[in-house]
Amino acid sequence: MKVEGKHYRSIWLAADGWAAEIIDQTRLPHEFVIERLETLEDAARAIETMQVRGAPLIGATAAYGLCLALRTDASDDALEAADARLRRTRPTAVNLMWALDEMLGVIRNIPRADRVAAAYRRAGEICDEDVETCRAIGQNGLSLIEEVAANKPGKTVNILTHCNAGWIATVDWGTALAPIYMAHDKGIAVHVWADETRPRNQGAALTAWELNSHGVPHAIIADNAGGHLMQHGKVDLVITGTDRTAANGDVCNKIGTYLKALAARDNNVPFYVALPHTTIDWSIMDGVRDIPIEERDAREVTHMRGRTASGAMETIEISSPGSGAANPAFDVTPARLVSGLITERGVCAASHEGLLGLYPERRDDES
C-alpha cells in the first residue's frame, strides 16, 4: 500500500536483483527506513529482531534468506545449514516452516547450477501468491463493508480493529485491513478505531502508521475503550486478523481480541476475522482448550519504548518498580462470538462445517 503517495510492498527484490529489501519495522512508526538484506545472516537476524514480523512476511523473508545463502554456496550441505538457521529464528511460526518447505521442494532435487535461479523464482512466487491471497480476502471482506455502507447512506462506516493485521504483516494488502483499504480506495467513507494493543502497541504504532500513510481516516484508542464505543453506536463492524484458527472456528489472536468479541456480541456489532487458509489448524477441534498461549517477557508490560521530545528513542519504566507482571500474548475467541471468517475463498460461518464448505478438500481428508 502507499507511503507518502508511493506504493510499497513489505519486502521486494532490490533493483540489482540480488538483495531483498525490507522496511525496518522496529523503527516504525517514528522512522521509515529501508534495509537491504544481502546475506543469509541478514535475513535470519531481520526475522529474529522483528525488523520483519507477521506470519506471511516472515515466510517471504525466510524464502529470500535461502536465496541469499545459495548465492554464496549452492551445495546440499550449505542448503541444509541455511534451512536450519532460518528455522531457528522464530520456532513457532507455522508460515516460516511452510515457506522453507516450499523452497526446499523446488531446490533440493535439481542441479546446483539451477538452484539460485529456481530459488529466486519460487521466493518471488511466494510473495506474489501472498499478495493474491490478501487481495482475495480484501475483496471478500469488502462486500461486508459495502453492506454496512448501504444501510447508512451518506454516513461513515466505523470499523474497529485490534493489533496489526495490515499490509506490513503480509507482503501487501494485509488481512483484516485489506477490506478496509479496498473500501477506502473505492471511495466508501470508512473510519477505523485502532486499538493500541498493549503491551506491544502494534495498533498504535503499526496499524495507525499504515492507515496514516495510506490516508485512511482513523483514531487510536486505548484497548479499554472499544466496549464503550460499541455501547454508544460508534462501531459498525469489527474486523481482526488471527494467528491460528482452530478447525471448529475458534480464533486465536492477539491478547484482548476476546474482550472485543464479547463487547461486539453484547451490542449486536458484527465481529469478523480475516485469515488466509494457512492459519487454519485442522488438527485442533477446540481452540479455547487446545491452542497453547505464549507467555512473554514481563518487561513488555512494565517498560515502554518511544520517542522523547528531543527526538531520541528512550525506554521508560511505566509501572511500580517492585511489582511483577504477567504477559499472555494471545487469547482465543470462541467461535460462538465470531460472526464469520473472511478467507481468500469467501466468507463462512465460524464452525467446522463453515470451514469445510470453503475447503471441501479437507472433508475428503477426513472421510
Contacts to a copy of itself by CB under 8 A: 28-30, 193-194, 196-199, 201, 204-206, 208-209, 211-213, 218-229, 231, 254-256, 258-260, 262-263, 266, 288, 293, 301-309, 314-328, 330-332
Contact 99, 43 (CB under 8 A): no
> Tell me, what amino acid is at 46?
A
Q: Minimum distance from CB of 325 to a copy of itself (Å)?
A: 4
Q: Within 13 Å, how many C-alpha atoms sit on residue 187's CB side?
A: 2
Q: Minimum distance from CB of 289 to a copy of itself (Å)?
A: 10
Q: Which of 83, 243, 281, 331 is catalytic?
A: 243
Distance CA 276, CA 342 (A): 8
Contact 3, 32 (CB under 8 A): yes
Asked about 130 being catalytic, the answer comes back as no
Cβ neighbours for 313, distance < 8 A, ≥ 6 positions apart: 30, 305, 306, 307
Please state, in angstroms and as integers, the Cα–Cα distance from residue 3 to each residue in 55, 143, 215, following that order.
22, 26, 9
Q: Minimum distance from CB of 273 to a copy of itself (Å)?
A: 16
Query: With respect to a copy of itself, which residue has the nearer C-beta, 9 or 200?
Result: 200
Q: Minimum distance from CB of 266 to a copy of itself (Å)?
A: 6
Reduced 3-state DSSP string for 70-119: HHHCCCHHHHHHHHHHHHCCCCCCHHHHHHHHHHHHHHCCCCHHHHHHHH
Q: Minimum distance from CB of 91 to a copy of itself (Å)?
A: 22
Cβ neighbours for 9, distance < 8 A, ≥ 6 positions apart: 127, 131, 167, 171, 172
Query: With respect to a copy of itself, which residue has the nearer C-beta, 283 or 323?
Result: 323
Identify the CA nearest to 337 among candidates 231, 287, 262.
262
Query: With respect to a copy of itself, which residue has the nearer C-beta, 117 or 293?
Result: 293
Query: With respect to a copy of itself, which residue has the nearer C-beta, 88 or 307?
Result: 307
Distance CA 247, CA 288 (A): 11
Query: With respect to a copy of itself, which residue has the nearer C-beta, 253 or 343?
Result: 253
Distance CA 334, CA 345 (A): 22
> Tell me, what amino acid is at 244?
R
Cβ neighbours for 364, distance < 8 A, ≥ 6 positions apart: none
Query: With respect to a copy of itself, which residue has the nearer C-beta, 187 or 322?
Result: 322
Q: Minimum distance from CB of 286 to a copy of itself (Å)?
A: 12
- Give me the active site residues, please: 243
